[in-house]
Structure 1
């Protein structure tokens, strides 16, 4: 007789009568070890239809519940938004001090400007009612309304001529609008004005565009628990598109300057224009004689490069940086004409005795762009289109993916970020080599400027002076009379009011100057036209004063 085979009960089960933990089967009936019959247990032969039904049983795991953060509304939502904006501003200042070698007291200056910016906002103390007042340092406060920062991305042209002091005049019960993301850059720029640092708005736009400042993807740098509690309106206010439209920062700075004057009687110092002017001239590869010409025209216009704070309407040329680049453009037109017409100088001391070959100038400026064509230009990745991606080589595609990962992939959905990074893991990144190349280019920037000027000087020609226009030959005089309506005189400077009026060389020069100042081309043309009009009025006035003495000089701008 075969020995009895005992089995163990499942965990937690036993015989109800004796508590035995083992059982055995006999005649398809189960008994405990002590012989007590177990109710509810019966064996049966598995038929063919039940084949495979006694396999491993798997249970579906319950999906973890996602905790949905409660969105703050009203005063609490606005206060959290300002705290997030304040954190972005703090990180901008720290990057400027740590990486751009700004002075240590720069943070205190921006801190004071931020405190003024939020002082007239209605504050709400913790656990108490709202009150109107101020706070020191990076204050936490609330406001009554907000405007989306992302809304400006639909327009790339900001007209500074629309700026006016009327909306900022102090009135009873009037309060400031809620600050926007662009105000963080504007406050940093105003801190440079206070500290007399030669940083331009184009510098700030370039640093933000290249990712050297946490601005374009500033929303991703905010802690996740803060983002989850921000209302949708404030999410849009902290989101920008892939670039800063030209002229956007200039408009924000002008509004802040006017508002500080209207609310606190605060006046900012003039622009430290000398190093900026030298940068404009060297970056455009222009003869250094332009420096004296710009200084002379600035004295004629009696400008001090300070931001205007009075008047019902502010003209484009009254913006200091726009005025400075407009003076460079107008001086270039006067000394080295861009219309292709050769104007004889009056003497060898006349700056017009040297002629710039503008065709050669375009080749010089384009050469640097062609040399860096192997990689995407840092800061211009946003210009890549879907068609460009299909035809890109490996180096440019790596540059674009690095920029995309750095700017737009956050921790909001980690699985999405992992799926995007997975195809590119364990691959050699050519962008690392391009970063080293960019660093070496920065180290050799002086050599690049020297090579540019060497190429420009070799292409310049000397023009023989003509002391008196009456000394020309009769044949030349007849040709001149035939072309009088087509060819401007020596002391005449044509005015180009629209982009369509620009000759090829002038269009290339104007476009380069506008990009250097981070403003739209139409804004630069408007500012240059206003400067030329002021200069024309001064010439007419001077001619009237000297007419009786026979020393009048006719200078006509049309």
Structure 2
């Protein structure tokens, strides 16, 4: 084989993929000295007869000829295309909720208006007559944005689509929890995982790297609390930029859902609401009144909601095994939970597949011990997250060994409503009735009563046994991490303790008895 003859690029130019300054000709194609294909150049060799004695050079083709159709966008055009992708996904999420979950069709109009405010709609934003797959997503989902440079409200992200859907449900007063949307997204039900697959190919080919990577959500991290933070950021942004104030969440039906999903006695429902009334807290955005620049966990209405459910449960149906006796027939302690039965019904199920963090830290032995299904998913993860994909700049290896499309993740089905109801019946049928015992002189002070020896947990490490499992189930239902839920419950308990101390001081001053909760 004859040695390759190298030529120099024009002055000041190099290979588009590496710093190489020389190239060679092979099989009708041009490659840099490092093997990258060079496009847009025409060769003129000094030895060829038609060179007429001119020195060797490389001439650029005309700009129109070498310009590629699928060139990646940049700047404001790239941001606009990314917004189109988010808008398309957002509309698919709304249609899923209306079609699969039976929410009111007006939800689409509400979410559309929130979206237009989020991206600051301008006049003349398009004709709005698309079919849902192009020009703004169709159905009037159109907008116009001159520039994002210097904006006070940053470009929205993928998690914001779920946050917008949730805020739309709040405006519609639909009984949908943040935890519901979080679980549906994580389990592959509502369109979210593999968001890039919902985007038309011609759009994907023109997305810049940062936007393409943002839409790779197949292995998104779901630690818990991400959607809550997105919702709060959106709420504060709407108030700051547009003066929009959201109504309180529909607390009564949402409390019912928590009581049902945790298989708790119905008496928890009114007591949880009473806890918040005592502290003058509302289920509004945010719970402490005017919007703060920095918010606490309990400023999120649903975090306050689930924390009040846990406090009510710990107070009325303690999990610590300490004997406490009811004083009269109206005492909640007359009914005692059998927490052993509850824990059996909610025993932890093993995870079907490892998450992305486990993939990243797997050792050789763990990989060798994988079965076929897990190995395929590992290779899918590697292809999705570790390989640089550029459909327009294929290398020779890509042409010879093309990668197959990654199959969509299987949808994890919801637990049937009948199964939830049967679980509630089994737990409640195991509850025991305790006869009340009034205070007597021979009883002494050692008899436990409602609220006595109430224990708070400041950190996850303090949890154990049934208490830990109860917090885990509640965190799963709320879409929170276990640590966030523990901190929220502890914060609410500290507020109650402060209220209790104030009540005791007030009673000592002889100001009368308030609407108290004994031992809370």
SS at match of 1:493: coil
1:242 aligns to 2:246 (yes or no)? no
Task: Please report the TM-score for the alignment, with normalisation by the length of structure 1.
Answer: 0.66
- Larger gyration radius, structure 1 or structure 2: 1
Contact 1:218 1:238 in 2 (8 A): yes
Specify whether residues 450 and 223 from structure 1 end up closer, same or farther in structure 2 by C-alpha distance, changes over 3 A only: closer
Specify whether residues 320 and 388 from structure 1 end up closer, same or farther in structure 2 by C-alpha distance, changes over 3 A only: farther
Structure-to-structure mapping, 1:397-436, within 5 angstroms? 416=402, 418=404
SS at match of 1:234: helix
Specify whether residues 419 and 74 from structure 1 end up closer, same or farther in structure 2 by C-alpha distance, changes over 3 A only: closer
Aligned to 1:202: 179
Specify whether residues 489 and 364 from structure 1 end up closer, same or farther in structure 2 by C-alpha distance, changes over 3 A only: closer
More helix by share: 1
* Superposed displacement of residue 141, structure 1: 2.8
Aligned counterparts of 2:464 and 2:442: Cα–Cα separation in 1: 30
Contact 1:338 1:503 in 2 (8 A): no
* Superposed displacement of residue 292, structure 1: 1.9
Specify whether residues 123 and 322 from structure 1 end up closer, same or farther in structure 2 by C-alpha distance, changes over 3 A only: farther
Aligned to 2:86: 85
Aligned to 2:435: 464
* Superposed displacement of residue 451, structure 1: 2.8
Aligned to 1:454: 425
User: Which of 306, 320, 323 is the equivalent residue of 1:342?
Assistant: 323
Aligned to 2:114: 113
Aligned counterparts of 1:144 and 1:450: Cα–Cα separation in 2: 50
Contact 2:285 2:300 in 1 (8 A): yes
Specify whether residues 352 and 84 from structure 1 end up closer, same or farther in structure 2 by C-alpha distance, changes over 3 A only: same
User: Which of 255, 278, 283 is the equivalent residue of 1:305?
Assistant: 283
Deviates more, 1:529-538 or 1:518-527: 529-538
Aligned counterparts of 1:270 and 1:223: Cα–Cα separation in 2: 38
SS at match of 1:338: coil
Contact 1:284 1:512 in 2 (8 A): yes
* Superposed displacement of residue 336, structure 1: 1.0
Q: Deviations over 1:26-50 (max 9, x none)?
A: xxxxxxxxxxxxxxxxxxxxxxxxx
Q: Deviations over 1:295-316 (max 9, x none)?
A: 2212212333111152343221
Aligned to 2:50: none
Aligned to 1:505: 466
Aligned counterparts of 2:355 and 2:255: Cα–Cα separation in 1: 28
Specify whether residues 522 and 121 from structure 1 end up closer, same or farther in structure 2 by C-alpha distance, changes over 3 A only: farther
Aligned counterparts of 2:517 and 2:74: Cα–Cα separation in 1: 67
1:190 aligns to 2:167 (yes or no)? yes
Aligned to 1:251: 229
Specify whether residues 411 and 451 from structure 1 end up closer, same or farther in structure 2 by C-alpha distance, changes over 3 A only: farther
SS at match of 2:461: helix
1:214 aligns to 2:191 (yes or no)? yes
Contact 1:247 1:520 in 2 (8 A): yes
Aligned to 2:153: 176
Contact 2:337 2:431 in 1 (8 A): yes
Specify whether residues 469 and 509 from structure 1 end up closer, same or farther in structure 2 by C-alpha distance, changes over 3 A only: farther
Specify whether residues 343 and 283 from structure 1 end up closer, same or farther in structure 2 by C-alpha distance, changes over 3 A only: same
Contact 1:82 1:141 in 2 (8 A): no
User: Which of 272, 275, 280 is the equivalent residue of 2:258?
Assistant: 280
* Superposed displacement of residue 282, structure 1: 1.1
* Superposed displacement of residue 545, structure 1: 3.3
Specify whether residues 202 and 538 from structure 1 end up closer, same or farther in structure 2 by C-alpha distance, changes over 3 A only: same
Q: Deviations over 1:228-267 (max 9, x none)?
A: 2222122223233334331111101101111111111101
* Superposed displacement of residue 528, structure 1: 1.0
Aligned counterparts of 1:399 and 1:452: Cα–Cα separation in 2: 36
User: Which of 273, 281, 286 is the equivalent residue of 1:295?
Assistant: 273
Structure-to-structure mapping, 1:352-501, within 5 angstroms? 352-366=333-347, 369=349, 376=352, 416=402, 418=404, 442=416, 445-446=417-418, 448-468=419-439, 470-472=441-443, 480=446, 491-501=452-462
Contact 1:97 1:103 in 2 (8 A): yes
Aligned counterparts of 1:551 and 1:214: Cα–Cα separation in 2: 53
Specify whether residues 360 and 110 from structure 1 end up closer, same or farther in structure 2 by C-alpha distance, changes over 3 A only: same
Specify whether residues 80 and 493 from structure 1 end up closer, same or farther in structure 2 by C-alpha distance, changes over 3 A only: same
* Superposed displacement of residue 469, structure 1: 6.7
Specify whether residues 549 and 314 from structure 1 end up closer, same or farther in structure 2 by C-alpha distance, changes over 3 A only: closer
Aligned counterparts of 1:392 and 1:262: Cα–Cα separation in 2: 51
Task: Please report the TM-score for the alignment, with normalisation by the length of structure 2.
Answer: 0.70
Aligned to 2:246: 268
Aligned counterparts of 1:306 and 1:489: Cα–Cα separation in 2: 30
SS at match of 1:215: strand
Specify whether residues 359 and 174 from structure 1 end up closer, same or farther in structure 2 by C-alpha distance, changes over 3 A only: same
Specify whether residues 360 and 122 from structure 1 end up closer, same or farther in structure 2 by C-alpha distance, changes over 3 A only: same
